[in-house]
């Protein structure tokens, strides 16, 4: 995690702690609640875990790469020495591994009250360049990365809702769900499906007191964009110049890519009781990139 992200998280936590008129928002606002962040070892997921810990929640993160996961956990423990943190290798597309992860969370941190379905990545391909295997892989990733964790953690969320009065699922989705791009045809279609799924789950789970929402991400600086930067052809541009140029060519009104902590703030709002009357909805985190009114 960069210093820039650290500053953002600290600022967000401080802002939450002093928000006037919101007695419930303090640095320990989420104490006594357990949060699970899939894909919590990098980018938006890592920033979300950081902010949840800053707000006093017990947090479990997972990812596939052990080295990245261990580095993330070490950084989080340094920043939050008293943190109740569980980091476990888990591929969200492996249902039995997700089930084991859910069991460990319940045993070590108590039942989850917040599930952040964040793990994943985008696929750059047009209709012409997307074969059947790629279509299946992309649709499988975008749906089952939500289906398996949601199924595994649902009993815990229902228990938390009954004991604490609120439980929530938040899905990291993309602006592509509403604003498809031809160069990301499969990801766009799959993201639209997830948008629809969130709406259905919100209705089905509402009687159990579990809210379901999502964020629509535009372009956020993260591992995904770092990887594309490293594979760039215009090698004379550094990261700052490259991302600024990207924002210009994409016509992003705020003129820059977003930071992971800016997405994390929306996720934590939707995961927390601060949004207790919000379900089935999405917050746009795109710097004005959305063309929707």
Ligand X SMILES: NC(=O)c1ccc[n+]([C@@H]2O[C@H](COP(=O)([O-])OP(=O)(O)OC[C@H]3O[C@@H](n4cnc5c(N)ncnc54)[C@H](OP(=O)(O)O)[C@@H]3O)[C@@H](O)[C@H]2O)c1
Residue 184 pairs with which residues in a beta bridge? 125
In 131-263, DSSP assigns E strands to 167-174, 210-217
Mention every residue, 6+ apart, whose C-beta is less than 8 A from residue 147: none
Task: Between 121 and 159, name the residue whose CB sits nearer to ligand X.
Answer: 121
Which residue has the CB atom at the shortest distance from ligand X? Answer: 43
Minimal distance, residue 130 CB to ligand X, in Å: 17
Nearest distance, CB of residue 264 and ligand X, angstroms: 10
Nearest residue (CB) to ligand X, 83 versus 92:
92
Tokens 């990801």 found at: 187
Name the minimum Å distance from CB 23 to ligand X.
32
- Shortest reach from residue 172's CB to ligand X, in Å: 4
- Of the pair 30, 92, the CB lying nearest ligand X is at 92
Torsion of CA 36, 39, 42, 46, to 10 degrees: -10
End-to-end alpha carbon distance in the chain = 34
Give min distance, CB of 103 to ligand X, in A.
17
Residue ranges of E strands in 95-158: 112-117
Helix (H, G, I), strand (E, B), or coil: what is residue 5?
helix
Beta carbon of residue 40, minimum distance to ligand X (angstroms, whole number): 6
Q: Which is nearer to ligand X, 45 or 273 (CB)?
A: 45
Q: Of the two residues 209 and 222, which places its CB atom closer to ligand X in the complex? A: 222
Sheet with 210-217: list strands edge to edge.
85-89, 58-63, 34-38, 112-117, 167-174, 210-217, 282-285
Interface residues with ligand X (CB under 6 A) are 38-39, 41-45, 62-65, 68, 91-93, 118-122, 172, 174, 217, 219-220, 222-225
Smaller CB distance to ligand X: residue 57 or 184?
184
């Amino acid at each position: 995690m960069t210093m820039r992200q650290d500053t953002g998280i600290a600022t967000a936590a401080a802002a939450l702690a002093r928000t006037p008129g919101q007695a419930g928002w303090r640095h320990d606002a989420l104490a006594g609640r357990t949060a699970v962040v899939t894909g919590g070892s990098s980018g938006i997921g890592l920033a979300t875990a950081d902010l949840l810990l800053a707000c006093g929640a017990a947090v479990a993160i997972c990812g596939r790469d052990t080295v990245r996961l261990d580095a993330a956990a070490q950084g989080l423990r340094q920043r939050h020495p008293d943190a109740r943190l569980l980091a476990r290798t888990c591929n969200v597309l492996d249902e039995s591994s997700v089930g084991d992860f859910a069991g460990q969370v319940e045993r070590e941190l108590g039942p989850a009250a917040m599930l952040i379905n964040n793990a994943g990545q985008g696929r750059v391909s047009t209709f012409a360049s997307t074969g059947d295997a790629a279509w299946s892989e992309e649709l499988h990733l975008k749906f089952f990365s939500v289906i398996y964790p949601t199924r595994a953690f649902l009993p815990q969320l229902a228990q938390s809702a009954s004991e604490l009065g609120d439980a929530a699922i938040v899905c990291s989705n993309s602006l592509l769900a509403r604003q498809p791009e031809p160069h990301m045809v499969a990801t766009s279609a799959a993201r639209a499906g997830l948008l629809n799924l969130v709406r259905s789950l919100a209705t089905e789970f509402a009687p159990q007191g579990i809210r379901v929402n999502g964020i629509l991400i535009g372009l956020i600086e993260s591992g995904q964009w770092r990887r594309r930067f490293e594979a760039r052809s215009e090698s004379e541009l550094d990261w700052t110049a490259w991302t600024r140029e990207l924002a210009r060519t994409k016509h992003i009104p705020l003129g820059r890519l977003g930071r992971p902590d800016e997405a994390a703030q929306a996720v934590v709002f939707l995961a927390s009781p601060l949004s207790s009357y919000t379900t089935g909805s999405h917050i746009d985190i795109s710097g004005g990139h959305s063309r929707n009114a």
